[in-house]
Amino acid sequence: MIKDVYYQEGFPDPILECDHVLSLVRAFAPGAKKVMSVDETGGEARTYAIDDDIILKVQRPGQLRLSTSLEKEVFFLNQLEQHDKTISVPRVLGYGKEGTLEYTVMTRMPGKAARYFDLTDKQREILYFELGKTLHKIHNIDKAAFVESGLFPDIDTPSDMRERLNFRFNRVLGWRLNAGRITEGDVTEAKKLAAPILEKVPDAEIIVLIHANPGIEHVFVNDDGSFSGLIDFGDAYLSHPICDFRSTPVRDRALLLAGYRSEAEISDNFKAIWNAAYELDSIIDVLCSRQR
């Protein structure tokens, strides 16, 4: 399991001039006219919106890490387009490097990120159902080419699930502790409660392609709240499907699972790992609720 270490911290990270942006984009989209906005909400990348339908995504040099790669994202998106065009994701127009600058030119996903949309209960139910169907399709893409590419160094084995779940559990505990949402005593209690759950985690029967964070910042919705598509595959790796459910709040995971299971039923092994992850994340939710 790759740890998130930024190994170029302090590198210059200037916002590109509009003329520079357009020169990069026009190599793949000659009709590009105007830089509309710059988005810096992403951690590892900066994006530039061009006209109404093009995105230039640039790797931020100081945020470079082994687990993130624009080249990996380009490979993933191209594979999805080749294998299943019904999966709604951006389409790659071009990829390149210019000195230390690495960038991707791609189509813009219609709508906006779900985090900026005040969804009704019904809209949320439908959205997670469609996202679940999308994740199932992604997880069922043949992974052979991904492994052979060498672009996906983070690949779990069947016996890695306990470690993967424990790592995630401890990382989230750390986040909540640093944010003041739980105490040191809560952390001790949480780890005690988690121990017997982790002991029962079985080896995974399947290892699949993982988006890594299909949360509300990467799930796009149309103006009516309907599912538009999924973006940001730069952190992708290979592990058990449950890893793509943990970006969804515990309270909404049943909605996501319903969409996932509408494509095909899950195995008993899948259910056991699902239950373990659900119980672990519920422990943290309960502890956080005490501090409100």
On whether both 171 and 256 belong to a single domain, the answer is yes
Residue of 25, 160, 141, 49 lying closest to 86 (CA atoms): 141
Gap between the Cα atoms of 132 and 181, Å rounded: 29
pLDDT computed for residue 45 by the predictor: 84
> Is residue 8 in a domain?
no
> Is residue 134 in a domain?
yes
Place of tokens 């988005």: 39
On whether both 167 and 240 belong to a single domain, the answer is yes
Quick: pLDDT tens for 20-68.
999 999 999 999 999 999 988 767 788 999 999 999 999 876 555 566 7
Domain membership of residue 258 as a residue range = 112-290
Sheet of strand 101-107: strand arrangement: 35-39, 45-50, 54-59, 101-107, 92-98
On whether both 124 and 163 belong to a single domain, the answer is yes
How many domains would you assign to the chain? 2
Query: Which parts of 89-159 are beta strand (E)?
Result: 92-98, 101-107, 112-113
On whether both 57 and 199 belong to a single domain, the answer is no
CB atoms within 10 A of CB 184: 8
On whether both 127 and 103 belong to a single domain, the answer is no
- Sign (positive/negative) of CA torsion 80, 84, 90, 94? positive
- Tell which of 107, 122, 152 closes a domain: 107
- Domain containing 165 — which CATH number? 3.90.1200.10
On whether both 221 and 277 belong to a single domain, the answer is yes
Gap between the Cα atoms of 79 and 136, Å rounded: 15
| Cβ–Cβ under 8 Å, residues 265 and 233 | no
Q: What three-state secondary structure class fits 173?
A: helix
CB atoms within 10 A of CB 28: 17
Tell me the pTM.
0.92
pLDDT computed for residue 184 by the predictor: 95
Q: Find the helix or strand (DSSP H, E) in which 238 lies.
A: strand 237-239
In whole angstroms, what separates CA 12 from the centre of its chain?
26
> Is residue 1 in a domain?
no
On whether both 98 and 128 belong to a single domain, the answer is no
Place of tokens 């810096």: 40
pLDDT computed for residue 14 by the predictor: 81
Residue of 234, 243, 284, 244 lying closest to 45 (CA atoms): 234
> Is residue 125 in a domain?
yes
- Tell which of 60, 91, 107 closes a domain: 107
- Tell which of 79, 107, 135 closes a domain: 107
Stretches where the chain sits below pLDDT 70 are: 1-12, 42, 61-67, 291-292
The pair of structure tokens assigned to 52 is 């109404």
On whether both 54 and 135 belong to a single domain, the answer is no
| Cβ–Cβ under 8 Å, residues 77 and 234 | no
